Amino acid sequence: MIEILEYSFMQRALLAALLVGVAAPAVGIFLVQRRQAIMGDGIGHVALTGVALGFLLSANPVWMAVAVSSLGAIGMELIRWYGKARGDLALAMLFYGGMAGGVLIINLAPGGSNANLTTYLFGSITTVATADIVAIVLLSAFVLAVSLGLRRQLFAVCQDEEFARVTGLPVRALNLLLAVTAAVTVTVAMRVVGLLLVSALMVIPVAAAQQVTRGFAATLGASVGLGVLVTLSGTTASYYIDVPPGASIVVLAIVVFGVVTALAAPLARRRARAVARAEREGTLEESAGAAGDAVRVR
């Protein structure tokens, strides 16, 4: 465990993994709350076009991916507002287009081939360059500032959007900010977990944490803890068994999810009983009340 810290590429990879482990669940929790867990996936597809454009234009793929995936996320948000009936189809087309565009463009780039995309699709610990680390640190700082600093406001918007509008919060601006933050998170995470699996890291720690937590703040804290646990141990494992880190991180996350689910099963049963009891008491009171009313109204 200690000797891998002597390699500077591993230091960079672990730092990136740590940041991703914090940032991905911190944003993902709002998407899960809004039942848009799949949105990170879509942004990942669109980011691929950005990466390929970076190659084609000889620009930094990370920043290019930030730009393109942010535009894609804003597009998805606009579709959510205006495209009520056919919104899901429009989203699906955006996803397909992002993927196809990425493959198309990378093959147009001089000397480019699908092989260039592989490290972005599944992550790679050896390719986190020093320039990337600067971008990753800056972008993570932005992501954490938004997702933690505005957690109450974003919670309100994702919990009950109509109510949030009536409180006078700038709901549209907050939604756009959340979409851009999710896009930035995807780009930050693509070096470590890869674009195809980034959504898993935004969703699985939250899904695991919420089985044992009672509130939103507790879920946020626990999912960030689980996120860091799986990204650090998954990155370390990928060094020893020589697999892309995205794969080991996500498999680990699913294992953690399974373990938490198994441990939480008795808790879930107890809660279900408590709810059933509360409902029963409520209904009894209600029917007693209704009967009472009926007698008096006559």
Give the interface with other proteins as residue ranges (CB under 8 A). Answer: 29, 32-35, 37, 150, 152-153, 155-156, 158-160, 162-169, 206, 210, 213-217, 219, 271, 274-275, 278-279, 281-283, 285-286, 288-289, 292-293, 296-297
Please report which residue ranges of 34-129 form alpha helices under DSSP H. 39-56, 61-82, 87-108, 114-122
Q: How far is the CB of 233 from other proteins (least distance, A)?
A: 24
Contact 182, 36 (CB under 8 A): no
Measured from the CB atom, is 38 or 89 closer to other proteins? 38
For residues 109 and 217, what is the distance between their CA atoms, to the nearest angstrom?
46
For residues 20 and 205, what is the distance between their CA atoms, to the nearest angstrom?
12
Measured from the CB atom, is 46 or 207 closer to other proteins? 207
For residues 73 and 181, what is the distance between their CA atoms, to the nearest angstrom?
9
Q: How far is the CB of 208 from other proteins (least distance, A)?
A: 12
Measured from the CB atom, is 104 or 278 closer to other proteins? 278
CA distances from 87 to 45, 116, 118, 267 (A): 17, 32, 30, 38
Q: How far is the CB of 226 from other proteins (least distance, A)?
A: 14
Q: How far is the CB of 250 from other proteins (least distance, A)?
A: 20
Contact 209, 62 (CB under 8 A): no
Measured from the CB atom, is 241 or 297 closer to other proteins? 297
Q: How far is the CB of 224 from other proteins (least distance, A)?
A: 13
Tokens 């919060």 — which residue? 169
- Reduced to 3 states, what is the DSSP secondary structure of residue 121? helix
Measured from the CB atom, is 162 or 242 closer to other proteins? 162
Measured from the CB atom, is 171 or 190 closer to other proteins? 171
The four Cα atoms 206, 196, 31, 138 give a dihedral, to 10 degrees, of: 90
Q: How far is the CB of 191 from other proteins (least distance, A)?
A: 27
For residues 257 and 229, what is the distance between their CA atoms, to the nearest angstrom?
12
Measured from the CB atom, is 127 or 287 closer to other proteins? 287
Contact 28, 205 (CB under 8 A): yes
Contact 248, 237 (CB under 8 A): yes
Q: How far is the CB of 298 from other proteins (least distance, A)?
A: 9
- Reduced to 3 states, what is the DSSP secondary structure of residue 156? helix
Measured from the CB atom, is 88 or 281 closer to other proteins? 281
φ, ψ for residue 194, nearest 5 deg: 90, 155
Q: How far is the CB of 204 from other proteins (least distance, A)?
A: 13
Length of the chain in residues, anyone?
A: 298
